[in-house]
Every structure is written in C-alpha cells, then in structure tokens.
Structure 1
C-alpha cells in the first residue's frame, strides 16, 4: 500500500490521524509520516502490518475502541 493509498483509506474510513493511531497503537506523528509523499525526507514507508489492518478496516472489521461516527 502506498502512502497515498493509506491516506485515502483513512479518509474513506472517516478517521483522523489521532484516531487511527489509537486503533493501531501508534503515534499520530507516525501515521503522518506514513502518509507523506516519498520525496519528503521525513517520510516513512507504510508499515506492512498497518497496511493489512487498513485492508481489514475497509472490508468492515471494527475492533474494540472504534470511534463513534461524527455527526
């Protein structure tokens, strides 16, 4: 999963970087770095386990602690 695909998946799920970080037990700053364009010096490749979790979330899986939908 590319950084842009990861970012689009998060947006499609309606999650903030902080909410996704809480679900993945990862700092929001790490989520931000995964979503950065590869040309940025502080960008990081998307963690493969996080990418797999995003695929599960997109398929409908909702773990405990999933944020309530925003009105």
Structure 2
C-alpha cells in the first residue's frame, strides 16, 4: 500500500490521524509520516501490519477502539 492509498483509505473511513493512531496503537505523528510522499526526508514507508489492518477496516471489520458514532 502506498502512502497515497493509505491516506485515501483513512479519509474514506472518516478517521482522523489521531483516531487511526488509537486503533493501530501508534502516535498520530507516525500516521502522518506514513502518509507523506516518499520524496520527503521524514517520510516512512507504510508499516505492513498497519496496511493489512487498513485493508480489514476497508472490508468492514471494526475493532473495539472504533470511534463511537462512526459507521
């Protein structure tokens, strides 16, 4: 999953970087770095486990940490 695909998936899910960070048990700053273009010096590649969880979220799975009031 590319940084652009990861960011687009988060937006489609209606999650903020902080909310996704809580679901993935990581800091919002890390989410931001995963979403940066690879050309940025502070960018990080998307974590493979996070990419897999994102795919599960996109398929409809919702963890207990899912924000209340979100579909």
TM-score range, shorter chain: over 0.9
Runs of 5+ consecutive residues of structure 1 not aligned to the other structure: none
Equivalent residue runs for 1:37-48 within 5 Å? 37-48=37-48
Divergent runs of 4+, >4 A: none
Instruction: Give the C-alpha shift of residue 6 in structure 1.
Output: 0.1
**Number of residue pairs the alignment of both structures matches:** 70
- Give distance in 1, aligned partners of 2:4 and 2:65: 25
Could you list the per-position Cα deviations for residues 12-56 of structure 1 after superposition, in whole angstroms to 9, with x for gaps in the alignment?
Answer: 000000000000000000000000011100000000000000000
What is the RMSD of the two structures over their aligned residues, measured on CA atoms?
A: 0.9
| Other-structure match for 2:58 | 58
Runs of 5+ consecutive residues of structure 2 not aligned to the other structure: none
